[in-house]
Amino acid sequence: MSRIDHIAGHTWHGRKGAVENAFRYGVDYVLLEPDAPTPTAPALFSRNRGNVVSLWDSDNGGPLRQGRGVDWVRDVLEAHGLPGDDRIELLTQPRVLGHVFNPVSFWLCRDSGGGLRVVIAEVTNTFGDRHCYLCHRDDLVAITAHDRLRARKVLHVSPFQPVEGRYEFRFDIRPDRIGIWIDFTGGNGGVIATLVGPRRRLSTLGLLGAILRRPFGSRRVLALIHWQALRLWWKGARYRPRPVPTVDDVSR
């Protein structure tokens, strides 16, 4: 991959169970190969230096604000005996005016033929905790759009959902489009979350459009998260205090 792609997509969340709630909003992600030579990018975008829109290696791949990027991913793959270190891509929200909050980023780990062998879902909550889920087939062959990959939930994300339960991930990563579906089931309910959008080369026009439509970037995402939490509280959803987070960084 010799370019940076921009996914001007949308995310949809729908709550399962007695207290119903659903919302949909626009979101901007970038997709790139972090350890490849950085291609020419629009003037508004930078890697590892300040700009209107920027991406910093320290934001991903390891503990929050202490990321090691691709080096961390390769260490994780080696420690778990997993393939996919021939080409590693990162799908994440960039910083806007220096600020970033990523509820979930994805490391896409491919073999020499381009097959998607492992996905690492890097989940961060609003309490400052982070945990990563290894997603792969049991037989370790390439992941298809029809595969449903399961992981036990470990990280406390929403205070209105239990920690106990399981995720089911589905990934449809195409040259022209991204589709990711996450289905959490726990207790008597759960939530379905999606990320869908077209995949285009990052451009000045695309960035300007994103900034005009969503000028506050991840600050807006945080505000929307807290607004939905207020709505759930008002509807009577049970509040669950944050438990002590797990000491493990990665699980399946």
Mean pLDDT computed over 31-58: 91
Confidence of residue 251 (pLDDT cuts 50, 70, 90): very high
Tell me how crowded residue 29 is: count the other CB atoms within 10 A of its CB. 23
Tell me if 240 is assigned to some domain: no
As a whole number of angstroms, the distance between CA 123 and CA 129 comes to 8
Tell me if 32 is assigned to some domain: yes
Tell me what percent of the residues of the chain surpass a pLDDT of 70.
100
As a whole number of angstroms, the distance between CA 221 and CA 47 comes to 22
The boundaries of the domain holding residue 190 are 5-235
Mean pLDDT computed over 146-161: 95
As a whole number of angstroms, the distance between CA 141 and CA 82 comes to 11
Tokens of 117: 């062998």
Mean pLDDT computed over 43-60: 94
Beta strands in 111-188 (DSSP E): 116-124, 130-135, 149-152, 166-173, 177-186
As a whole number of angstroms, the distance between CA 99 and CA 76 comes to 27
Output the pLDDT for position 87: 96
pLDDT tens-digit series, residues 99-141 = 889 999 999 999 999 999 999 999 999 999 999 999 999 999 9
- The number of distinct structural domains making up the chain is 1
Confidence of residue 59 (pLDDT cuts 50, 70, 90): very high
Res. 1: pLDDT tops 70: no
CB 24 within 8 A of CB 225: no
Tell me if 100 is assigned to some domain: yes
pLDDT tens-digit series, residues 203-215 = 999 999 998 888 8
pTM of this prediction? 0.95
Tell me if 34 is assigned to some domain: yes
Res. 165: pLDDT tops 70: yes
In eight-state DSSP terms, residue 99 is B
The pLDDT mean for the chain works out to 93
Confidence of residue 46 (pLDDT cuts 50, 70, 90): very high
Tell me if 250 is assigned to some domain: no
CA distances from 20 to 16, 211, 222, 236 (A): 7, 32, 21, 10
| Residues linked to residue 130 through DSSP beta bridges, in sequence order | 124
